[in-house]
Homo-oligomer: A and B are copies of this chain.
Amino acid sequence: MSRSLSPSALAERILAGSTPAIARGITWAESGLPEFRELLALLYPRTGRARITGFTGSPGAGKSTLTAAMARLARKEQKRVGIIAVDPTSPFSGGAILGDRIRMQDLYTDPGVLIRSMATRGQFGGLARATADAVDILDASGFDEILVETVGVGQDEVEVFQLAETCVVVLTPGMGDDIQAIKAGLMEVADIFVVNKSDREGADRVVLEIMQMLEMGEHGEWLPPVLKTIAKDGTGVAALRAEVAKHQEFARGDGFAARRRERVRKRIEAIVQFELLARLRAEGGLGTSLEENVSRVEARNQDPHGAAWELLRKFNKEPHRESDGN
């Protein structure tokens, strides 16, 4: 592909399902190019068809193996599957040992499967923003199912996870300590719980613990089911796929209207925040003032909040030029 592709030419190729075009589009999204906004404006009306499922859990819970197993089932039904790995320990993101990737060779070489990893670090909300953009690109391009794999601890990861219509939290037996962490961070975003590696001792106890947590917690019309799987040999994966389908129907109904709206709101806000920070840092913008304030705070001649409010006052007076004609 030529380097100077226009947004409309790239959009056309993405809509036609071209893999290199999709990869290029996601790279535009990651780099935050102004052209990307033009691209997304062209693609966005064509989104909304794909089913988006998120998988989260601790490293070692078997999320990638489960994601792979889910992808294979979808392929049996001739669905086009996109896999986005935001988890640094995922074989899909290249973080895992070679053996893991070899075991997933069938997916890497299947033309009906597109695998993409996203950087795991970034500025405030940058990762969630780019991942949402990547999902839109795959959606517009005609992928039927999009599987997003993330490590489920931490705010940024929870944000990524919440992009998904259906959020699957993956646990394993023998991780007693993790239950607490999940309680604190993921309870309210989980749509389906999976106890993977359920041939291990203690699986039923974990199932019970989750069900007890669910009983104590609040939930709306959808009561998250708790399923057992052995992703490695496929046990329980078809049942999980059926539950995901059921939830996805539910998620598109009235019961989830508020959540869908909140997802859109957060996404817009994240972009606004990201841009405002970029302007704050810009050379010739507030960048110089910022550095002066940093020096004053370091010398303890000013406190951090005082510095921030001084910048906010300047920010409001500054006539910001737009970075392009959009």
A214 on interface, CB distance cutoff 8 Å: no
- Interface membership of chain A positions 284-326, coded 1 if the CB is closer than 8 angstroms to chain B and 0 otherwise: 0000001101100110101111111101110110011010001
Complex Cα distance A37/B178, Å? 37
**Closest residue to A48 on the B side, CB-wise?**
B300
Contact of A304 among B40, B89, B177, B313 (CB under 8 A): B40
Size category of the A interface is: 35 or more
Contact of A88 among B183, B291, B320 (CB under 8 A): B183
A153 on interface, CB distance cutoff 8 Å: yes
Contacts of A294 in B (CB 8 A): 261, 264-265, 268
Q: Are A276 and B275 in contact (CB under 8 A)?
A: no
A202 on interface, CB distance cutoff 8 Å: no
Q: Are B153 and A155 in contact (CB under 8 A)?
A: no
Contacts of A267 in B (CB 8 A): 297, 304
Which residues from 1 to 50 on chain A have a C-beta closer than 8 Å to any C-beta of chain B? 36-37, 40-41, 43-45, 47-48
A162 on interface, CB distance cutoff 8 Å: no
Contact of A178 among B60, B271, B277 (CB under 8 A): B60
The 7 closest A-B pairs by CB, nearest first: A154-B154, A88-B184, A60-B177, A271-B308, A44-B303, A155-B156, A153-B153
Binding site for B on A (CB under 8 A): 36-37, 40-41, 43-45, 47-48, 58-60, 88-89, 95-96, 120-122, 124-125, 127, 132, 136, 151, 153-158, 175-178, 180-181, 183-185, 260-261, 264-265, 267-273, 275-277, 280-281, 290-291, 293-294, 297-298, 300, 302-309, 311-313, 315-316, 319-320, 322, 326
- Other contacts beyond A37-B309, A121-B185, A272-B311: 15, CB < 8 A: A40-B304, A44-B303, A60-B175, A60-B177, A136-B303, A153-B153, A155-B157, A264-B304, A268-B294, A269-B277, A269-B281, A271-B304, A272-B277, A272-B312, A276-B312
